């Protein structure tokens, strides 16, 4: 898993790798939309220990990004 922090100190991670790029399937399929999605989808900070303030911060900066 690859974690990154933004300038706003919000942790993000890349959790999705298209299955057709894994060694067993590699070269068998050409799925450009799936490959593109794998480079664009990130997971945001999410766990039961986040405070309401931290959740609001993640929402605020996510909305600014999009």
Instruction: Please determine, for residue 22, whether its predicted confidence score (pLDDT) is greater than 90.
Output: no
38: CB partners within 8 A, 6+ apart: 16, 17, 18, 21
Structural domain including 48 reads: 2-65
Q: What digits encode the pLDDT tens for the residues 25-39?
A: 888 888 999 889 888
Place of tokens 């942790």: 11
Number of domains in the chain: 1
**Band of residue 12 on the pLDDT scale cut at 50, 70, 90:** confident
Give the distance, in angstroms, between the CA of residue 17 and the centroid of all CA atoms in the same chain: 10
């Amino acid at each position: 898993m690859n974690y990154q922090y933004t300038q706003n100190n919000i942790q993000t991670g890349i959790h999705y790798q298209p299955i057709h790029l894994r060694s067993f399937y590699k070269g068998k399929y050409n799925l450009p939309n799936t490959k593109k999605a794998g480079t664009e989808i990130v997971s945001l900070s999410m766990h039961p220990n986040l405070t309401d303030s931290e959740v609001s911060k993640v929402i605020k900066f996510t909305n600014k990004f999009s």
